[in-house]
Structure 1
Amino acid sequence: MREIHITEKDANQRLDKFLIKYMDKSSKGFIYKMLRKKRIKYNGKKAKGNENLKMGDSIQLYLSEETINKFREIKEIQNIKTTFEVIFEDKNILLCNKPLGLLVHPDKKSSKNTLIDEVLSYLVSKGEYDPKNSMGFTPGICNRLDRNTSGIIIVGKNLKTLQTINQMIKENKIKKYYLTIVKGVVEKSGILKGYHKKNNKNNQVEIMNTYKEGSKYVETRYRPLKNNGVYTLLEVEIITGRSHQIRAHLSKINHPIIGDRKYGDSTINNYFRKKYKLKHQFLHAYKINFPGKKEFIANMPDIYKKICMGENININLQ
């Protein structure tokens, strides 16, 4: 019999979710079967799986060590060079400035050297994460950015922080701001509302004025910072966080982002590709505000700084 003692790090989650993470190679069916047969007990008693774990609780696994180990996958963390910039860090949270071209999580085409790989390697090197003694918990990323969108990524180092940040994002208590350069002159701030529907076949979205089956409400706010008579540097705040939301919304009002090959202007894209070697949309998650007026800013990539200087729409972010 193996007994697991719940610490503060693993409290405040359902028993079944903890067990699924602890024995992550087992099926859900196996977990529930063992609960029904009382081969897994909670505080020495039969459990259903929906109990909320508290610090000081215990779980008894009446399984052989061979069975437990067979169902447990100990993560192997590779020593990977860190390419992200640390914006802020304490015992609970890590704010990264994700560089251009780096995936946040593995996808079907690429499964190595992602931001999460770099983050886990970084935390292991600092002695803040040990996969062998993590009780199934892995530090996690709270917000996502496309491969070719740079900027601030929030990492929760423990379960409580991860749950808290995710809930704050869901309730829109954390404000996220982007910088982008768009076609044309934008003179006034505005709010864009509509309905978002994604075509998974071509990985492209449509923004509609009215609801259609399968669509989801989206809201985007923007504020012009500077223009040169041809292009405008915008600050964009997303109220909802849908795939390609900013890109599609700005394109719909005839102010597409420069470099955007899906929703942009091909003539303008060619200009920036030839002059600055820009091969993707200019979009940078540059600022984040937490409750209590805690604000953090991420520096722009060098190519974006070069474009702002070259087009005379440079601003001081600090």
Structure 2
Amino acid sequence: MSEVINKEMIQEEVEIPKLTILYQDEYFVAIDKPAGLLVHRSFLDKHETQFAMQMLRDQIGQHVYPVHRLDRPTSGVLLFALSSESARKMNEIFIAHQVQKRYLALVRGFAPEHRLLDKPLKEQLDKIADKHANQDKPAQSAITDFKCLKQASLDIPFGKYPSIRYSLVECYPKTGRKHQIRRHLNHLTHPIIGDVNHGDNRHNHFFREHFELRRLMLFATNLSFKHPYTDVQINIEASLGEEVLSIFKQLNWSDSELDYRQK
């Protein structure tokens, strides 16, 4: 009996999770990247075994070319090209700032109703990966348009404050600097919940304990551009997911995806 079971175990295939495809045509494919998934292999994360690029390649059976990136802890729309030529065309569109990217971020405090922040950012270099890069490179232009969509207050004392406040902020980066949205919101004293590099770790700890969710609360919800081959305006949208919507419900906000779509 044990011999039969062992044979079955050997023959059993390991199930690889599938990525959610949001858009696909003969030139491009977009996925809903989960939080925590790397876009591609990196020597800085040698222990990782799953990467969006390789997973998508295996899933659709053809090579894919990344045309932009999302930080590992950020979830949402991630676009790939299906050929080197379409990757080149899409890269040109990104360089010309003809792609609109929309993010939603859950932040600490009551954010201002609207703020267009023009604050140059000095490139953040990795000690290992960027050890040969220019360490004295001047700060680069960085512009982000912020709009506060919702506010919530929990009657829970925190430090010297009688309550804990949160805001849901709509973010439109006009430039593409590393960690731009995260750094800009931290500059405005409204760091993103779950941001261990640019956030408030005391609030991050409370959020994990109170809501039982450990992740960066930043979501790439929309990617819009004019298709370089068809001239059709494309808008690719990713959902927030049930876990996030359940937290919004606890903040007395709507738990319907429809209420968080781009207006």
TM superposition score category, shorter chain reference: 0.7 to 0.9
Give the CA deviation at 1:82. Answer: 4.3
Match for residue 245 of structure 2 among 305, 308, 312 = 305
TM-score, normalising length: structure 2 = 0.77
Question: Are the equivalent residues in 1 in contact too, given 2:35–2:215 (CA < 8 A)?
Answer: no
Matched position secondary structure for 1:195: coil
1:85 shift after superposition: 0.8
Kindly indicate whether structure 1 or structure 2 has the higher relative contact order, using CA contacts under 8 Å at least 6 residues apart.
Answer: 2
Post-superposition shift, 1:295?
A: 1.7
What is the RMSD computed on CA atoms of the aligned residues?
2.2
> 1:238 corresponds to which letter in structure 2?
P
Does residue 71 of structure 2 align to residue 146 of structure 1? yes
Counterparts of 2:234 and 2:125 in 1: how far apart (Å)? 37
Q: CA deviation at 1:200?
A: 2.3
Q: 1:214, CA displacement in angstroms? A: 2.9
Q: How far 1:277 moved relative to its partner? A: 2.7
- Contact map agreement 1:139 1:156 (CA 8 A) in 2: yes
Which stretch shows the higher mean deviation, 104-113 or 217-226?
Answer: 104-113
1:22 matched residue in structure 2: none
Mapping for residues 85-100 of structure 1, pairs under 5 Å: 85-100=20-35
Of 149, 153, 165 in structure 2, the residue corresponding to residue 225 of structure 1 is: 149
Tell me how far apart the structure 1 counterparts of residues 41 and 207 of structure 2 sit (CA, whole Å). 29
Q: Does 1:246 align with 2:181?
A: yes
1:155 corresponds in structure 2 to 80
Change (3 A) 1:310 1:202: farther
Report how far residue 300 of structure 1 moved: 1.3
Distance change in 2, residues 1:279/1:218 (3 Å): same
**2:49 aligns to what?**
112
Alignment partners' CA distance in 2, 1:290 and 1:180: 22
Q: Structure 1 residue 267 and structure 2 residue 191: aligned?
A: no
User: What is the TM-score of this pair, normalised by structure 1?
Assistant: 0.64
Identify unmatched segments of 5+ residues in structure 2.
1-13, 130-135, 154-164, 227-231
Q: Which runs of 5+ in 1 are unaligned?
A: 1-78, 130-137, 204-211
Q: Map 1:1-318 to 2 at 5 A.
A: 81-108=16-43, 109-110=45-46, 112-124=49-61, 129=62, 138-197=63-122, 198-201=124-127, 213-229=137-153, 230-291=165-226, 292-314=232-254, 316-318=259-261
Structure 1: which amino acid aligns with 2:177? R
Q: Which amino acid aligns with 1:317?
A: Y
* AA matched with 1:144: R
Matched position secondary structure for 2:35: coil
In structure 2, relative to structure 1, the CA distance for the partners of 1:263 and 1:313 (3 Å cut) is farther
* CA distance in structure 2 between the aligned counterparts of 1:289 and 1:213, rounded to whole angstroms: 31
Aligned length: 220
Q: Distance in 1 between matches of 2:95 and 2:110?
A: 33
Deviation track 1:117-171 (CA, whole Å, cap 9, x = no partner) reads 11110221xxxx3xxxxxxxx4201111111100001110122211111111111
Q: How far 1:301 moved relative to its partner?
A: 3.5
Contact 1:99–1:151 (8 Å) recurs in 2: yes
Contact 2:18 / 2:59 at 8 angstroms: preserved in 1? no
